Every structure is written in structure tokens, then in C-alpha cells.
Amino acid sequence: MERVKLRARAKINLSIDIKDILEDGYHEVEMVMQSINLSDYIIIRKAETGFKMTSSNSDVPSNKKNIMYKTWILMKEEFGIDGGIEIFLEKNIPIAAGMAGGSADSAAVFIGINRLFGLNLSDDELIELSKKLGSDIAFCIKGGTYLASGKGTDLKKLNNFNWDIVMLICKPNIFVSTKRVYKKYDKMYESISTDQRPDNEKIIEGLQLEDYELMVEGMNNVLEPVTKSWYREIDKIEKTMIKGGAIKSMMSGSGPTVFGFFKDYKSAKRCGNILRKRYSQTYITHASNKGVEICGNK
């Protein structure tokens, strides 16, 4: 095999709660994560030597700062891989958006290199290796609906999100630093009220009973007040979605992307048309029970 093509799906957070600050400075989290069909596409080819990357989006770095490069180097050194690779990235997931776009691309490289070079590693082995690079990669390798705890890499499979709910995604032209958001959260965590925290047990029960109203009642993101304190656009987008018929609207990850749940496509499209006049990165999508998917090889 000389080439593999992969689909790397974005994620949204149905919840984020922070339980504690660990001794190493990381945060102990508990969050429900959901894959969606908004995806990047990656083609990886074998090369004689080195690493070369091109992207459809010029804002994506193609040098050593890129997590796809770091993933390749980790795999190459860990397993003594000879030769090099060339990567083409069709970038559709918004950048720095709280949707794990970089982590999804890294997960695709882990899975692609595993297949391309015949390493025969299990998903769990890839996940263990991915912890050296970031916390969301583990979920992106698995995909679907999971409760993530600890540093975000301890995953528990939940009932799949099977409802025919239409999701509207809107990313304002803002770039949010996750590190900065967590740092400010540490300063204001005492002011985060109980009603701003999620009820993950209610979300899990809603998934089990296939009762989306119960699930929605439990959804919340403790990082949202932090990011909203800097960017009023997030609140404006949420209110536009609710006014447009969304049954729930909230921020994903550390932001600034906002998503809304709609019962029908027409309402989502109508609201999306309104938002797209101001925010070009507005998309209609659905939940997915898959993460990274190999969609072609030869």
C-alpha cells in the first residue's frame, strides 16, 4: 500500500465540568464528547524521505509546529519506520474552534500510519501513544459518544446519539487560546454557580432512554462564562439560534464555536442563513457514531 485516505471528524462537547486542578497543572475533567459529520480529509502517501505537507487552508502551519508532523515523528521514532510521508489536508473543520480539529487530524495520522506501514496496532495502543501529544486525540481515534474523565483520556462508551437532530455550527472570526481560558477559569472557578455546571448523570440517562429533552437539561459548559467574558459574540450567536428555533445552544470546548440543536432541517437552514451573513464558518451537520474513518487506499 502506497497511499491512504482518511476522514477525520470534528467533535462537540455536550458538557464540560472541571473537578480539580492536578499537581502537574493539568485539570481533572468530566465531559461528554460527541463526534459530528463535519470533517477534514487527509491523504497520506509514502515518500522516500522526510515530511512534506500541503493544505487547502493557508492558515494551517506545514512545519514542525503542526501536530500532524509531531504525530509522524512520534510514530517514526517509536517504531523505526524507514522513509518519509507526504500529506495533503483538506481542511473543513474550523481552526482554533473548540472542535478538536487538530486532534482529529493527529488521530487520522496515527491511524493512517498504522495502516500504511502495517504496524497492526490496536486502537488502545494508538491511544496510549497519543497521550504524549494531547488529550482529545484519544477520543478522536474512538469517535462516537463518550464520557471523558481524568485528563480527558479516560474514555467510557455511552449510548450512541441516535436522534435525528440537526446541528447548526457557527464559529465567529475569533481565535481562542485554550491555555488562556483554563488559566482564567482557575481564577474565577469559585464564582461559577451550580446552574452553570453540567449534570452528566442526566445526560447519560437521557442517552440511555433516548430522551433528548432530558439530555438537553443536563448540558452545560463551565468554560463558557470565561470565554463569554471576553467575547460577546458567543452570547449573540446562542441567542440567535434559540430565537431561530434551537432546542439548545451552547459553546463547544473552550470556544468560540457555538452549536445549536434543531428538530428539523428547515429551521436550522433558516437560522444558518441568518448567521452566515455575518459568520462565514456556519455549517449544518449531524451527530456521528464514528471518529476517524479510512475511506480509500491503494
Catalytic residue positions, numbered: 11, 136
On whether the CB atoms of residues 237 and 172 are closer than 8 A, the answer is yes
Exposure of 204 in the CB half-sphere (CA atoms within 13 A): 12
Q: Which residue has the cell 515530511?
A: 51
| Helix residue spans in the chain (DSSP H) | 67-79, 101-116, 123-130, 136-142, 178-188, 200-209, 212-218, 224-230, 233-243, 265-276
- Rounded-to-10 torsion of CA 275, 59, 39, 68: -150
Q: Cell digits for 229?
A: 467574558
Phi, psi of 32 (to 5 degrees): -100, 125
* Closest of 96, 92, 107, 97 to residue 38, by C-alpha: 92
Q: Cell digits for 163?
A: 436522534
- Determine the Cα angle at 174 with ends 168 and 180, to 5°: 110
CA 198 to each of CA 40, 182, 193: distance values in angstroms, whole numbers, following the listed order: 29, 17, 11
